[in-house]
Amino acid sequence: MDISIVIPLLNEEESLQELYDWIATVMHSNGYIYEIIFIDDGSLDNSWGIINKLSNENSAIRGIRFQKNYGKSQALDAGFDLAEGDVVITMDADLQDNPDEIPELYDLIIKENFDLISGWKKKRYDNVITKNIPSKLFNAAARKTSGLKLHDFNCGLKAYKKEVIKTVKVSGEMHRYIPVLAKNEGFTKIGEKVVKHQARKYGVTKFGMDRFVNGFLDLITISFLSKFGKRPMHFFGLWGTFMFLFGMTSAFYIGVLKIYKLYNDFKTILVTDNPWFYIALTSMILGTLLFLAGFIGELIIKSKDSVKHYSIKEKLNF
């Protein structure tokens, strides 16, 4: 199969038929063997009914319906797990991503051997204050932290080599950072393509300030995971050892000083009246806890199973 198109959605009943017609036109005009995987992330409207109708008309249409709303990352992970195409393309269901970009994205993966191509909506039709400015700040921070020179990490229109999506696991709200996750897994040929951005035609945006804040929190998480995710002991063990040694040294100093003053009959105070006693004690406790955190992290990594953080209610054509 040439292409799998993975489309997560939430309450997009008005746009689905138009989006499918547009994609089908592009697929047929280029002679691709394809599948379209719609992931209904707990929609409360008639989105699933439309997907059901489309699947009855075309066996290339596949559907996954979640039991409830889990989030875009979980929807993409479910789609990636079932996708069979040599190239996997993700796009949003709100008609803001342009299906006419698909052939060029496909060629960049197949002919130029890119692992991943991320779309860049250079000219946007979003609200400047609520989306454009926060998006620019977020992308600048992501570039600085990850080392990837991409302009639009959050663009839903991306193309992947099949091996990438079968290797990368997306959870939480990490869909923004799939290029970073891919880079961490050794897929280094990551490119960018300017894509057309369409103004929203139906429905309302799912973007809010909470997602902006969560995006930066996830950025901190992935920055840590990219350095210490495989070996947490390298971080927690290092700082734990440092804190414990600092505490031990302080305690040793307090003890030696106490003995020296007693031996020379100098005026002295109780050890528990010395503030350094509590600093030393706290440092040793913190050091021990940090070391244990690293040790437990290592055990979890070595024993963890691949757990799906979503529940599928129905499938179509799988």
Q: How far is residue 154's CA from residue 178's CA, in Å, rounded to a whole number?
A: 9
Q: What is the DSSP letter of 126?
A: S
Angle ∠(255,256,262) on CA atoms, nearest 5:
90
* Buried b or exposed e, range 157-178, using 16+ CB within 10 angstroms: bbbbbbebbebbbbbebbbbbb
Closest listed residue to residue 196, CA positions, set 119, 104, 302, 307: 119
Residue 212 is predicted with a pLDDT of 62
Strand-strand pairing, 312-316 and 61-66: antiparallel
Distances (CA, A) of 60 to 8, 85, 220: 16, 12, 39
Q: How far is residue 52's CA from residue 276's CA, in Å, rounded to a whole number?
A: 70
3-state class of 157 per DSSP? coil
Residue 55 is predicted with a pLDDT of 95
3-state class of 194 per DSSP? strand
87 - beta bridge partners? 3, 161
Burial of 206 (0-12, 13-18, 19+ CB in 10 A): middle
State the chain's maximal CA–CA distance in angstroms: 98
Strands (DSSP E) found in 45-189: 61-66, 87-90, 116-120, 158-161
Residue 24 is predicted with a pLDDT of 96
Residue 105 is predicted with a pLDDT of 97
Chain position carrying tokens 């103004």? 199
pLDDT digits (tens, 9 = 90+) for 86-96: 999 999 999 99
Residue 90 is predicted with a pLDDT of 97
Residues of the chain with pLDDT under 70: 125-132, 203-219, 222, 225-230, 301-309
Closest listed residue to residue 118, CA positions, set 183, 169, 60: 183
Q: How far is residue 247's CA from residue 253's CA, in Å, rounded to a whole number?
A: 10
pTM: 0.75
Strand-strand pairing, 87-90 and 3-9: parallel
